[in-house]
A and B are shown apart, each in its own frame.
Chain A
Amino acid sequence: MMDEPAAALENATPQRIVKVETGDEWQRLSLIAIVYFTVRNIMGMAQGLIYLIPAMAVTFNILDNLQSPKTYAAIAGVLLLTSLSGVVSFFMYKFRVYNQHVEIHNGVFQRRYTNLPLWRIQNVKIELPFYYRPFGYALVVLDTAGSGKEEAKIVAVPLSYAHALKKRVLFEKENHNANEQSTDPNCKVNTGSKDALASVDTVKHAETTSPQDEDANEEVLNRRSIGDIVIHGVTNNRVWIILGAAAPFYDDVFGFISEWLAEKGLQLNQIVGEQTIAWWQFGLYAFVVLMMIMAAMALLSVGGALFTFYGYTLSRSNDRYIRKSGLLNKLEVSMRASRIQMITAKQDWLDKLLKRVNLYFEQNSTAGQQIQELMSPNKLIVPSVTEAESVALSREVFPHCNFQQQTYKNISKRFILFWLAAALVAPFLLAFVVGALTAHLDIMLISATGFCFISLVLVLRWWRWGIAFDSRYIYVRRGRIGVDYLCFEPYKVQQVMIKQSVFMKRKKLATIKFVLASGAVTVPFLPEEYVNTLADSVLHEVESTRKSWM
């Protein structure tokens, strides 16, 4: 039952000589994989069971025998079955890395055979579930077309083997690309297929390095300390990371809290319903409760941030950026520099106070497939860096780019007028008139303040929104209270759009929209002449340089 890669490893103790090829013999995973399969199956079953809960609750109520031995037997049976299924999954899984192909046989009822040429693999992720870590195992996720569906997982291999495999894949890919370019520069590939996309990859470094000395090339660009991550948790709402995980227990928690309150002689409806206390007392209570909730949220958010970003490092190895982080599950995401479409520096109002910036490197996003933002391989986030670090990091990716020192072309004030006239005046005015007619002062007040608030937001939005072009990069500044800076290279644009309404034409204004592989960027209400010139120069940049966007 001893797994071969592991054995090969232990015999050849030094880390450098980890054999990636396993030969034509099929390999079993390490035994720890049983845990993985079991956990996965239990999770899968739990997800399925969520829909059954109402039905089960009803049956339990009818039978009313929650405490009976039958129930325990059923639960035990289910648990036993799932853990057995883990063992079965383990035995039904085999893989080999042979002849530059990764081959995997898996599936219990539905057998699947995956064959992946090493050079076709787009992305290698190494995940470390917490139960793997003490034993030094890893889960290798091989991503082919950039879509989540076409992943292949090698479930449990020694960590060093995982790293060796990763290096090998990157090496093969570069080699393959370099060969393709040098021997057959005009090779015709079917333009319709996704493979065509995959093979257009340009290689930045013509001279490829051997896979062994790549580790030495890995240069750490940024680390985030626990303090930084705590700041990130405070300034950004990462509550959902924990709230999402705790969702099944909500009812219990609320039940528990209300019971606890009742025990203390506090009953909410009593306080609100009867005029036993003065209004200011009630207000104070409400304020204190609100503050407590806010504090709890902030704590949860810090927890969530620590959970995902603990031990964060951003490093560079050749033309790749690699992000590693995670408290329980270590996650690694790597992204090629040439693939980065846009840099976004986001600064919320709290970030502004603390002078911190969230930096995102955005890759092409497969539309319609929304993956969790923080885990997504399409967006590489560097959480809560200082302003100086953000400048340094963005220059590392886009040399000489400079967000702050651009003179931004502001959008026209008509932007505010347009939104007020087009969409926002009518409902507020209606509410105000209704209030006036029915002599309800509160309705009038609410609609008036609402209107003022919306106008204020619009003014802020107008004030922030601007664009700059320094012949190398296009910069967009936007935001309301916080500021976001976007920066992209014009030659990576996929499509340019100019929009103009009849009224805008009269005032010689136009809206410009750039479609990038990572999403669209819009800047509205700019002078018509400016928009036209900008569109023309961007198109010229795309069409004359003929550089690849990937």
Chain B
Amino acid sequence: MHNEMISEGSARVFSNKHIQTSELPRLQELALTPISRRYRIINLSAISAIALVLLSIVTALRFQPLFELPEDLVFAYPYICSVIFGLAFLWATYHFFADTKITYAVREQDVSKQSGLIFRKLSCQPILRVQHVELNRGPLERWAGLASLQVFSAGGEMYTFEIPGLELEKAQKIRQFILDHKDVSAR
């Protein structure tokens, strides 16, 4: 680690001024941009689609003429339907409110994301620590022209930094920005 200092020392003038903590770049002052509005639409339609498929399977089983269902199941049918509907509704409501809360910011040295409805989480990934970057596009995202950006660090799979629902062009730009960053490309 000392070597870096030595090798770079000749290239740039070494400076080590004392920095007041108030002068540090502040996370609280991040200019956060919301992700695409289409991300919420995708999520809501995916949830409705799943709920519809489940409901139609249950209904088809209930009213098919091929074999008799046990009494209990026939009796339970309306309850099963309402449980599916209720869960889908809750899930959709969550996404309806939470998806608009997802915001991100790119600074010279790091990328940040803020998300969460009740628990607000702000994560900040220094570009220096990025190992590789991926763009992920599922079928629905492709259809909507979106992509999610995944940034991997040595922190491991569990802490993969991800910004979902970015317009493809923006996602590609951020990806390129990270890849062109001298800390990443210098390795």
Contact = CB atoms under 8 A, between A and B. Distances in A.
Contact of B125 (A185, A495, A535): A495
Nearest to A193: B132
B106 interface: no
A203 B7 CA distance: 12
A500 B28 CA distance: 13
B124 A535 contact: yes
A54 interface: no
A494 B152 CA distance: 10
Contacts of B159: 494-495, 515, 520
A516 B187 CA distance: 20
A472 interface: no
A226 interface: no
B155 A515 contact: yes
Interface in A187-233: 188-189, 191-192, 196-197, 199-200, 202-204, 206
Given A200-B187, A495-B124, A499-B121, A367 B158 contact: yes
Interface in A3-35: none
Interface stretch (B57-65, B136-144, B177-185): B177-185
Contacts of A500: 119-122
Contact of B3 (A191, A202, A364, A535): A202
A433 interface: no
A539 B130 CA distance: 14
B27 A196 contact: no
B37 interface: no
B123 interface: yes
Interface stretch (B17-25, B48-56, B69-77): B17-25
B110 interface: yes
A503 to B, nearest CB: 9
A372 interface: no
B7 A542 contact: no
A497 B157 contact: no
Nearest to B151: A495
A498 B122 contact: yes
Decide if the interface of chain A is mainly helix, strand, loop or mixed. mixed
A536 B1 contact: no
Nearest to A188: B185
Contacts of A501: 118-120
Given A367-B157, A494-B129, A548 B120 contact: no
B176 interface: no
B27 A202 contact: no
B121 A498 contact: yes
B126 interface: yes
Nearest to B158: A367
B153 A536 contact: no
A549 B154 contact: yes
Interface string B1-25: 1111011000000000001010011
B45 interface: no
Nearest to A368: B157
B153 A515 contact: yes
B124 A548 contact: no
Contacts of A188: 185-187
A335 to B, nearest CB: 16
A420 interface: no
Contact of A499 (B3, B120, B185, B187): B120
Given A497-B121, A497-B124, A532 B184 contact: no
A539 B118 contact: no
A548 B1 contact: yes
Count chain B CB atoms within 10 A of each CB in A192, A494, A505, A519 and give the residue with the most. A494
B123 A497 contact: yes
Contacts of A539: 25, 27, 109-110, 124, 126
A191 B179 contact: yes
A405 B136 CA distance: 48
A500 B159 CA distance: 18
Nearest to B19: A540
Given A181-B7, A532-B26, A367 B19 contact: no
Given A364-B154, A501-B118, A542 B26 contact: no
B39 interface: no
Given A499-B121, A539-B126, A494 B155 contact: yes
Interface in A351-403: 364-368
Interface string A522-550: 00000000001101110110110011110
Interface of A: 181, 185-186, 188-189, 191-192, 196-197, 199-200, 202-204, 206, 338, 364-368, 493-502, 505, 515-517, 519-520, 532-533, 535-537, 539-540, 542-543, 546-549
16 contacts: A191-B179, A202-B4, A206-B3, A367-B156, A367-B157, A494-B153, A495-B159, A497-B124, A500-B119, A500-B121, A501-B118, A532-B27, A532-B28, A536-B25, A537-B21, A540-B19
Q: Which 3 A-B pairs have the closest CB atoms?
A: A367-B156, A515-B155, A494-B155
